[in-house]
């Protein structure tokens, strides 16, 4: 996409991240979150819901990995 001049936006990143999370590819989903932020695309509420609904049951509420992507302190 980028090679063709199309810049990814939230909807594209969220769809890919959700797909990776749903298929159990957590490392790939979190890698894509890093890419998303490095490209200047900030996670939104859809990103938050996808990550939290898939990561929290596996990691527990204090998942530093999830919280760090959204600039929130974990309790």
End-to-end alpha-carbon separation of the chain, Å? 38
What confidence score (pLDDT) does residue 61 get?
A: 46
Whole-angstrom Cα distance, residue 16 to residue 13? 5
pLDDT digits over 12-49, tens only? 999 999 999 889 888 898 899 889 888 889 888 898 88
pLDDT bracket for residue 62 (50, 70, 90): very low
In the predicted model, is pLDDT for residue 65 greater than 70?
A: no
Determine the average pLDDT of the residues in 67-75: 55
Q: What is the model's pLDDT at position 15?
A: 94
């Amino acid at each position: 996409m980028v090679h063709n001049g199309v810049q990814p936006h939230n909807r594209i990143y969220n769809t890919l991240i959700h797909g990776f999370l749903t298929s159990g590819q957590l490392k790939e989903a979190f890698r894509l979150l890093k890419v998303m932020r490095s490209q200047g695309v900030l996670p939104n509420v859809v990103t938050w819901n996808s990550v939290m609904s898939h990561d929290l049951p596996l990691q527990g509420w204090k998942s530093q990995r999830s919280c760090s992507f959204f600039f929130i302190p974990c309790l």
